[in-house]
Amino acid sequence: MMTVFPDPALAAGRHEPLGATVRDGGVNFAVFSAHATRVDLCLYDETGAVELTRHALDGPVDGVWSGFLPGAAAGQLYGLRAHGPHAPREGHRFNAAKLLLDPYAREIVGEFRNLPEDHGYPFGHPDGPFALDVRDNGPTALKARVAAPLAGPAPRASAPRHAPRDVVLYEVHVKGFSMRHPGIPEALRGSYAALAHPVAIAHFKRLGVTTLSLLPVQFAVDEPHLFGTGLRNYWGYNTLGFFAPDPRLASVAVRHDPTAVTAEFRDMVQALHEAGLEVVLDVVYNHTPEGNEWGPTLSLRGLDQKSYYRLQADDPARMENLTACGNTVNVEHPRVTQLVLDSLRYWVGEMGVDGFRFDLAPVLGRTARGHDPGSPFYAALRQDPLLSQVHLIAEPWDIGPDGYQLGRFPGRFMEWNDKFRDTTRGFWLGHGPDGTAIGRADFARRFAASSDVFRVGGAAGAAGASAQRSPLASVNFLAVHDGFTLADLVSHSRKHNDANGEDNRDGRDNELCGNFGVEGPTDDPAIRDARERARRAMLATLLLSQGTPMLYSGDEFGNGQGGNNNAYCQDNEIGWLDWPSADDALIAFTAGLAQLRRTHPLLRHARWFDAPGAARDAAGAGTPATLRWYHPDGRELREPDWHDGGVPTLAAALRDDHERLLLIANPGAASLRFALPPDGAWHLLLDSSGELAPAPVSGQEIVAPPRALLLCMAAATAPSSP
C-alpha cells in the first residue's frame, strides 16, 4: 500500500547515490543539475494522475540536489521539476511546468503519448521552440517509481566466462526472436521469458553461439513522427530510462508491473547463464528521445540541457547532432560520464549482464579535439573494477566530423567491422561497392581479422591506447539489424522500405547486395542455386575467418524481410523471425561451421599469425603459427598475383605444430582445379556448396565447385575417414 504524505518537511539527504534509494525508514532522493536555481520533488498518487505534495530539494552541493523523505517506501511515484532560466538562445530550457523523469529511475510507469503539453513551447507560436509553454503536463507525464532493493543473488554470480577466442556472438531482438516460434507458449512469445525458454536455449546451444547480443532493452519510447501511423520504434534505439528494462519486452502478464518486469529480466539472464550463454546489451548513450530544439521536454533537457547535451558552439540554442537523431549526449561532462558508468554498473552488478555493444560509440569518446581514444570516459571504463571485466563492443562510427573510427578504440574493445561485411559480400556476389570485383588482397586482409586495421594499431599514440590490438577485436559480420538480412541481400538489388511510410527514402541506399537475375523470390532453379551457394559460402567465410564472428538471428535459417533494410518500425511479421519457414538444413550447416571453429584452434587465433610469440602451445614451446596464401596452381602467391584482375580464387594455408589446414575460396561461377600444397595427403572437411562430401582427397589436387569455400586438413592430423 502506498503511503500518502500530508506534507512533511523534507529532511537533509545524502548526495549519493543519485536517484531514489530506500534506506533508514524512508527514501533518499538525489539529482544533478548544475544550472538549476531550485529542484522540486513531486509525489503522485498510485494512478500517477494526482500530485500529492511538492518538496524543494536541498542544494546544490557540487551540482547535486538531495533530500530524505521519512516514511516513504518502495512503490512511491514521483517526478521532478527544475527551476532556472528560460533562455533558449543561451542553451537553458528550464520550465517548472514540465514534470521530468528522474534519469536514474529504475522503475517507470505511464505511457509517453507525445502530447502538446510534453513540449516546453506552445505549438504554433511564432517564436517556435524559443517560446515558453506553461501548461502543467504532470497528470500525463511518465513517472518514476521508487524501486525496492533487488532480492536474491545477482545473476552475475552464475555467469559463464568464455575465453575471448571462443566467443561467437548472436545479435537478436528479444521480441522478434519468439513472436512466431511455434515451440514457445503463446503467452510468453515476444518476452524476456521466451528468450530463456528451453526451446530457445536449445536452439542457441545447437547453433554453437556463446553470447547473445540483445538489441536495446532499456526503457524506450517512440519517435514523434511515428505517432498516428500505426508503427512504433520496434528496435528500441530511443532510450529514455537508462536503468529500467523496457516493459514492452516483458510477458503480457507482468508488463504493467515494473518490479515484475525487472524480475523477469533477471530470471532470463539467470537461465541463460545456467545454460552457459552470455548476455550482451546494445546500449544507446549517444542521444535521447528529446530530439532537437523542437523535441519534447521529458528529462535531461528540463533538468539541465547545457550540461547533459552538446550544443552548437556558435549557436547554443541549437543542439549538436552527431547522431542523426536530433541531439548528442555530452558524455565529456563528468556528471554525464557518471550517469553512463552508473547505468552500466547497474546492468552488470544488479542485472547480471556480461557486456555491452555501444551504439554510435565515437560519441562517447568525443572531446573538444574530436574522438579521443584516451578520453576520460574510456579511461574510467577501462579501470572500473566491474566494467573492466565484461565485453566492450563498439559500433565505431557516428555522423560527426571524423566519425569513422574503425580500429581506433582502446584496450579490450571489440569493434563491428563493416569492412569485413562489405568485402565478404562483394567477394561472393562478384562485385564490390563501386561495381568492380573484390580482389584477392582485400579478401585476404578481411579473412585475417583485418590486420591492416587492427594489427597496425590505429589508436597508437593516444593516451592509454595500444599500438596493436588482438585479432579478436574485429567483430566480423555479414548482416545485422540495420540492413538486409543474409537471405535478402542475395535476393534483392535494391531496398524495399515502402511499408515504413517514408516513400522508400529511409534506410541505407546502395547497400551491397545482388539478386542473381531476378528481384525477390523466384522459382528459377539456377538462380535459387546461385543464391544458396553464395549464402552458404558467406556463412562459411564468417565462421572460419580470424576474428570474432557475429551471426544475425534468422540468417541461420533463411529469414527474410521482403527486402526491407530498415525495419526499425516493423513490430510485425516483417520484423519478426519467420520460424514457420525456417530451413533446418541451413541451421545444421551453420551449426557445423561453429563446430569446426571450436574443433580447430587455428581458426580462432587470439594472436596474429607470425607475430613474436604467437600461437605457441600451452607450455609456450613450438614455433609460431603461419598463414600462407596460394595460387590455384599450387605456388605461393607473388606480388603480381594479388592484382591480376581475374577471378580472385585463392587458398589460405594455416599451420602450427599441431595441425595444418587449407581453406580454398572459389567465388567464380565455374568449377576450378586447385593444386594442393605438398604437405602430404589431405582430407576434405567441408565444401560449403554441398557438392563434395567430407572424405580423403585423392591425389594432389581438388576441384573446387562454383561459389564454394572448402576446408581441408592434412591427413596426419585429419580424422579417420568413415
- How high is the pLDDT of residue 461? 37
**What is the spatial distance between Cα 299 and Cα 297, in angstroms, rounded to a whole number?**
6
- How high is the pLDDT of residue 718? 55
Q: 3-state DSSP call for residue 471? A: helix
Catalytic: which of 332, 395, 656, 687?
Answer: 395
State the alpha helices, DSSP H only, in 484-614.
Answer: 486-489, 525-544, 584-599
Q: 687: which strand partners?
A: 710
Report yes or no: 307 and 330 within 8 Å, Cβ to Cβ.
yes
As averages over each run of 10 residues, the pLDDT of the chain (722 residues) reads 51 96 97 98 97 96 97 97 97 98 98 96 95 97 97 87 97 98 98 98 98 98 94 97 98 96 97 98 98 97 98 96 97 97 97 98 94 94 95 97 96 96 97 86 96 73 56 98 98 97 95 97 98 98 98 98 98 98 98 98 92 42 82 94 88 94 97 91 97 94 97 75 36
Contacts of residue 407, defined as CB under 8 A and 6 or more positions apart, other chains included, come to 396, 415, 450, 453, 454, 456, 457, 458, 459, 469
CA-based max dimension of the chain? 92
**Count of residues in the chain:** 722
pLDDT single digits (tens) 64-107: 999 999 999 999 999 999 999 999 999 999 999 999 999 999 99
Contacts of residue 182, defined as CB under 8 A and 6 or more positions apart, other chains included, come to 579, 580
- How high is the pLDDT of residue 8? 57
Closest CA to 275 of 194, 187, 211: 211
pLDDT single digits (tens) 666-680: 999 999 999 999 878
Catalytic: which of 278, 359, 398, 656?
Answer: 359
Active site residue 395: yes
**What is the spatial distance between Cα 21 and Cα 688, in angstroms, rounded to a whole number?**
56
Sign of the Cα torsion 41, 42, 46, 47 reads negative
Active site residue 359: yes
| Structural domains of the chain sorted by starting position, each given as residue range(s) with its CATH number in brackets | 1-152+290-317 (2.60.40.10), 164-289+318-602 (3.20.20.80), 618-717 (2.60.40.1180)
- How high is the pLDDT of residue 623? 67
